[in-house]
Amino acid sequence: MVEADTPGITLNAEEKKMGIKGSSTRQVFFNDVKIPVENLLYEREKGFKIAVNILNIGRIKLCGGVMGGAKASITESVQYANEREQFNTPISSFGAIQAKLAEQCIRTFACESATYRATQNIEDNIQSLMESGMEKGEATLKGIEEFAPECAILKVIGSEVLDYVVDEGVQIHGGMGYSAEKNIERSYRDSRINRIFEGTNEINRMLTVSMILRKAQKGEIDLLGPAKNIAKELMSIPDFGNSNGTPFSNEIKIIKNFKKALLMVAGSAVKKFNDKLGEQQEVLMNIADMINTIYLCESTLLRILKVSQNKLSDQFDAQK
């Protein structure tokens, strides 16, 4: 830990920014700064592990934070759409505006579902490691580190969902959305930084794929086996069977097929580029978009299934 008044530290003036103007942003210079040994975090020469995990925590917290911003912007959009009239009719009654409001809600709900899922998985993982005898601090580090790909996914989808929501919020407000009189103008400016800090979205997309491939190389997850099975399946007679009639069976099947498509694309990319895949940034970005979309869709479906089961359970209890 470096105290602000440590000799050798100098600060530049506050920077003038597009948004988040209430926050402090200054350049920090270190000139022969000496840090007492008691200020050491974690272990000597292992500070990078702390720094990386701080990024993981920051990424998942960013997603949780922007969900609040998205909901606030949706509320403002709905209020304005109900108040603003064209041809003696509130614009909220027009299909084009309704579609924008609906899409704002859909994307926010999906992203929130993914956030709930990942945070619960991380919490369960930390608890499991502690129960196995691991010290709390180490369990927290390892528990979060194992879900680093999910943290990167959430950072990307969260920041881009908020960007979509505030952008459509400005559009719903029309000319007033461009005026500093309305909160949506500030929300639009404040949102933009989220795609840059905690690692740009481009970096996080490529990180997601590289971390998953690294897990596969270590044998922590099996990608090659399922990819080969998909290749065999493509050469066989396709299954045109209908759904089995269970709730959301079609949606479950769609997500399974989406995963198959991802494995097929990722497998082909690994086969074609081999150890040079890391240099194919456009390919990595597209694979990451597939991963992000699948994670969003599956998380949303899992949440809906859980809500549906809870409702059925409540109905059963009421009948007792």
> What does the pLDDT look like over 229-276, one tens digit per residue?
777 776 665 565 555 667 789 999 999 999 999 998 998 898 899 889
pTM over 0.85: yes
**How much of the chain exceeds pLDDT 70, in percent?**
93
**For the chain, what are the domain ranges?**
1-40, 47-199, 223-319
pLDDT cut 90: percent of the chain above it: 72
- Model pLDDT for residues 156-176, shown as the tens digit of each residue: 999 999 999 999 999 999 999
Query: Is the pLDDT score of 319 beyond 60?
Result: no
Residue 316's pLDDT is: 52
The CATH classification number of 47-199 equals 1.20.140.10
For the chain, the average pLDDT equals 90
The full 3-state SS of the chain, as one line of letters, equals: CCCCCCCCEEECCCCCCCCCCCCCCCCEEECCCCCCHHHCCCCCCCHHHHHHHHHHHHHHHHHHHHHHHHHHHHHHHHHHHHHCEECCEEHHHCHHHHHHHHHHHHHHHHHHHHHHHHHHHHHHHHHHHHHCCCCHHHHHHHHHHCCHHHHHHHHHHHHHHHHHHHHHHHHHHHHHHHCCCCHHHHHHHHHHHHHCCCCCHHHHHHHHHHHHHHHHHCCCCCCHHHHHHHHHHHHCCCCCCCCCCCCCHHHHHHHHHHHHHHHHHHHHHHHHHHHHHHHCHHHHHHHHHHHHHHHHHHHHHHHHHHHHHHHHHHHHHHHC
Residues annotated catalytic, as ranges: 198
